[in-house]
Amino acid sequence: MTASLPLGGPEPLIDPHAHFHTPFTNRGDWERYNTSRLNMGERIGIRCHVASILGSWGHTSPTYFASPDDQTRANTFMLELAAQDAARIKAFVAVNPNFPAHALTEIERGIALGAVGIKLAAGRRTTDFALLDDICAAAAAFGVPVLQHIWQHRRREWPNQEASDGHELAQLAARHPRVTFLLAHIGGGGDWAHTNPAVVELPNIVMDLSGSGVDRGMIDEALRWVGAQRLLWACDLTLCTGLTKLRALAYTGASAAEIADMRWRNAVRIFPVGTFDAALARPLRLTATEAA
């Protein structure tokens, strides 16, 4: 069969905010989900998914407050998945800061087994420095970024989570200037316009464009406030909205070089050296039949 161009165009593409599922959740279709993500990733043109698994996704402990056993099991599955498809998948080691000793042990174990970053969800607000400072120190020591779940301008408490907003992440980033923080999903809920001025003075905060929100002007304003080198294209849970944002980049006024920064070059710069060498060299597994 004749090869076809990916839906996202021929230029390289890295998704630095992805998720997979495991047989230890309440999804009986976990294998189908994982396979569909990889297959659709090929159609879009994603060379590499940098992914995490949040415990049992709520099956045996809460998603944002995963038990140590659930998170260890999930990280092990994620690390094995990455090892089996090393060019196409990289792993974050996800931790729950409410269990600080376990979190630090998991980070050390995960990095030793190939993890390229740390994932923090909404288990503890980023202003809880007593629990987060040691995790950030570990990120600095290992030279890996921290992907932090963010609710854009949190105006109230949300059930079953300790969500942080951009202003709160800025306080943590100011304490740890050697760590790059990936501010998750500016399209993932809340007032994204509030986030831009909250983080503009913190060069070690890079915002990812993922989330189901695809508001007109969202990417344009982020570009205006922080510039292309502090933005990462990403998908999170919904690859369809990731594709929508990808196609929107050409209409923001960004140059070709700036779009390349957001598509893949910033990820290469932020993650450990060599993380994406094999991903960028591999051919996409895409045929004309699959693209039809």
pLDDT tens column, 237-250: 999 999 999 999 99
Six-digit token pair at 1? 């069969």
Q: Parallel, antiparallel, or unpaired: how do β-strands 48-52 and 14-19 relate?
A: parallel
Q: pLDDT tens, 105-137? A: 999 999 999 999 999 999 999 999 999 999 999
Q: Which helix (H) or strand (E) holds 120?
A: strand 117-120
Name the band, by pLDDT with cuts 50, 70 and 90, for residue 4.
Answer: confident
Q: Looking at the predicted structure, is the pLDDT value of residue 183 above 60?
A: yes
Tell me the average pLDDT across 205-229: 94
Q: What is the pLDDT of residue 292?
A: 42
Q: What is each CA distance from 275 to 210, 228, 281, 290, in whole angstroms?
A: 21, 21, 12, 28
286: pLDDT strictly greater than 70: no
- Compute CA distances 286 → 6, 43, 65, 87, 244, whole Å: 7, 6, 38, 16, 20
CA angle 128, 131, 135 (to 5 degrees): 120
On the question of pLDDT at 255 being above 50, the answer is yes
Q: Are 11 and 280 in contact (CB under 8 A)?
A: no
Which one-letter amino acid corresponds to residue 224?
R
User: How many Å apart are CA 84 and CA 103, to the nearest integer?
Assistant: 24
Q: What is the pLDDT of residues 139-148, one digit of tens each?
A: 999 999 999 9
Q: pLDDT tens, 162-178?
A: 999 999 999 999 999 99
Supply the pTM of this predicted model. Answer: 0.95
Residue 96 has pLDDT above 60, yes or no: yes
Structure tokens at 126: 């980023």
Is residue 208 within 8 A of residue 183, CB to CB? The reply is: yes
- Mean pLDDT lowest among 3-12, 43-52, 274-283: 3-12
Strand partners, 190: 152
Q: Could you tell me what percent of the chain has a pLDDT over 70?
A: 97
Cα–Cα dist 55/123, whole Å? 12
Residues 130, 181, 71, 115, Cα dihedral to 10°: -130
- CATH of region 14-291: 3.20.20.140
DSSP state of 11: S
How far is 43 from 39, CA to CA, in rounded Å? 7
Please say if the pLDDT value at position 1 is more than 60.
no
